[in-house]
Amino acid sequence: MTLVVNESKPGDRDLVIGWLREICSAAQVNAQSGSVNVSGAGPFQPNYTSGCTCLQTIISSGLTVTIQLLDGPGSTIPNTLHTIGSTSGGATTVTNPADAGKEHGIPGVGKGPGADMTVYIDRSNNAQADGRTGYADPADPKTFAPLWLILAHELTTGHAFHGIQGDTSETRNGAEFQAITSENAHRAEHGLTKRTLQPVEMPK
């Protein structure tokens, strides 16, 4: 169906389009509907393309991925006990709890049916009472991970992409391997240090 950005607060779509253009420079968001497309006319300088194919796959799929911003690190992720701060600013879940499990592949068979997915991002970038912001970069905890990179981990070839494809790894170790592998491709395009990946035996 589509990739859509919810406008819980004025300006959310502008924020997200700025992040999406770090993933795919041709990304655009319809101001009324929030639908994302990747048909923006270039030339772009710089021209980031590492996420374009993935975004197009999400947009063309029969399922919906929603990007939802939350107020701050203490905001709870709906239907869970967890705050967005506890996931370091980004989290992805099936949109409808009744669809839990549909995001996984079926061992010995292949892909599962997939599920609508929602990506949550902390719009405040971990804003603290003393004015500090930022989530430590897993690849270099002395620096901060940009929010677009957190979104990329969750979205493009990350958790949401695999969720709608129905091929999220059965193990959490494998699911994180999938998302970190994707994140590292975006890091490479931006010249950022890659995250450490532990080898995983993926089911055939």
Partner 1 sequence: MPDLKVAVVSQQAKYGYGEPICMTLEVRNLSQRRLFLVAHRAYARKVGARGLEVLVGQAALATSLYYYRFVPPDLRSVSPKATAKLPISVGLPLRESLIDNHGIYIERDVPLDGKVSVAVVIGYLLTEFRPKTNDPWGEFVQQQKLFDAPVITVNLSPH
Residues interacting with partner 1, by CB under 8 A?
Answer: 6-8, 34, 66, 68-71, 75-82, 86-94, 97, 99-101, 103, 115, 118, 135-136, 138, 145, 150, 153-154, 159, 168, 171-177, 179-180, 197-198, 200
Minimum distance of partner 1 from residue 149's CB (angstroms): 9
Residue 24 or 85 having the CB closest to partner 1: 85
45's torsion region: left (phi>0), alpha (psi -120 to 50) or beta?
A: beta
User: Are 25 and 44 a contacting pair, CB within 8 Å?
Assistant: yes
Sorted by sequence, the CB contacts under 8 Å of residue 49 that are 6+ apart come out as 24, 25, 26, 189
Minimum distance of partner 1 from residue 114's CB (angstroms): 12
For strand 117-122 and strand 90-94, is the pairing parallel, antiparallel, or unpaired?
A: antiparallel
Minimum distance of partner 1 from residue 27's CB (angstroms): 19
Residue 27 or 94 having the CB closest to partner 1: 94
Minimum distance of partner 1 from residue 147's CB (angstroms): 10
Q: Among residues 21, 19, 15, 16, which one has the least CA distance to residue 4?
A: 16
As a whole number of angstroms, the distance between CA 8 and CA 166 comes to: 28
Determine phi and psi for 91, rounding to 5 degrees: -155, 155
Determine phi and psi for 200, rounding to 5 degrees: -135, 135
Minimum distance of partner 1 from residue 48's CB (angstroms): 20
Residue 44 or 188 having the CB closest to partner 1: 188
Residue 44 or 197 having the CB closest to partner 1: 197
Minimum distance of partner 1 from residue 197's CB (angstroms): 7
Residue 20 or 175 having the CB closest to partner 1: 175
Residue 26 or 95 having the CB closest to partner 1: 95
Residue recorded with tokens 């970190």? 180
Query: Which helix or strand (DSSP H or E) is residue 176 part of?
Result: helix 172-190
For the record, the structure tokens of 105 come out as 């592949």
